[in-house]
Amino acid sequence: MKTVPIRVAWLGEQDCRDCAVRNSALFAGLQEVDFGELHQPIEDIILEPPAVLYRIGERGRVVFTLRRGLVKLVKYLPDGNQRIVRLLRHSDTLGLEALLGQPYPHDAIALTRCEVCTIPVSLVERLGHEQSRLCHELMMRWQQALAEADRWLAEFSTGTARQRVARLLLWLSETAPGQPVPLFGREDLGAMLGLTTETVSRTIAELRRNGLIQEMPHNQLTLDQSELQRIADG
């Protein structure tokens, strides 16, 4: 059995050469010839929200690359409240802790429909011995995660409710500026921003009334980027 509790669909083992995130994924640094090594079971699965990738405290034997979708990393406070410490998106890596034999430090839960590669730790270790480039690539991953963590602290836990919401919406639109962004439950939004669901609801309602955001089908939003940026900057 794997550590992936909910497997909605299974795309089958597939060659990373064809991966859509080839250039930004973990094995991007490998030469073509190295892919001969990849006859390991790298599985590609699809998760429907709110599927659980892993639970806090579990010791997994796989790391994940997120090919599509959004995943939240959740911690729990002494009083039982949840706090979302980060979101992961396209080409981000999850569960690097498994490489160090450490238990996962969060719950990882899909916020949208996700496409995820599961890569056995044993494979990474084997390749890592010969491929110092893989080692470098892994460090890049960690560094990126750290930069995001710092950004979350600085942007999403600081300022007024309106500023935080605006910044989060802009963050969500970063990958594809101008495109509609998915909006999720008020409870999740609150846990990301350190606000209550009611405050988030009110703030979003106000942005909508002022025309800074517009509802689209499928819970998608179109943003007034410049105006939101003005709010975000205070």
Partner DNA sequence: CGCCCAGTTGAGGACACTCAATAGCGGTGG
Partner DNA sequence: CCACCGCTATTGAGTGTCCTCAACTGGGCG
Question: Which residues here bind DNA, judged by CB under 7 A?
Answer: 160-162, 184-187, 194-199, 201-205
Measured from the CB atom, the residue of 29 and 182 that comes closer to DNA is 182
Partner interacting with residue 2 (select from DNA, a copy of itself, none; CB below 5-8 Å by kind): none
Partner interacting with residue 161 (select from DNA, a copy of itself, none; CB below 5-8 Å by kind): DNA
Cα separation of 17 and 155, whole Å? 36
Query: In angstroms, how far apart are the furthest CA atoms of the chain?
Result: 58
User: Nearest distance from residue 94's CB to DNA, in Å?
Assistant: 24
Partner interacting with residue 30 (select from a copy of itself, DNA, none; CB below 5-8 Å by kind): none
User: Nearest distance from residue 8's CB to a copy of itself, in Å?
Assistant: 28
Among 70, 53, 232, 57, residue whose Cα is nearest residue 159: 232
φ, ψ for residue 110, nearest 5 deg: -70, 130
- Binding positions for a copy of itself, rule: CB under 8 A: 73, 75, 77-79, 81, 83, 85-86, 96-97, 99-100, 102, 105-106, 128-129, 132, 135-136, 138-140, 142-143, 145-147, 149-150, 152-155, 157-159, 194, 232-234
Cα separation of 63 and 188, whole Å? 24
Cα separation of 71 and 74, whole Å? 10
Structure tokens at 197: 């669901």
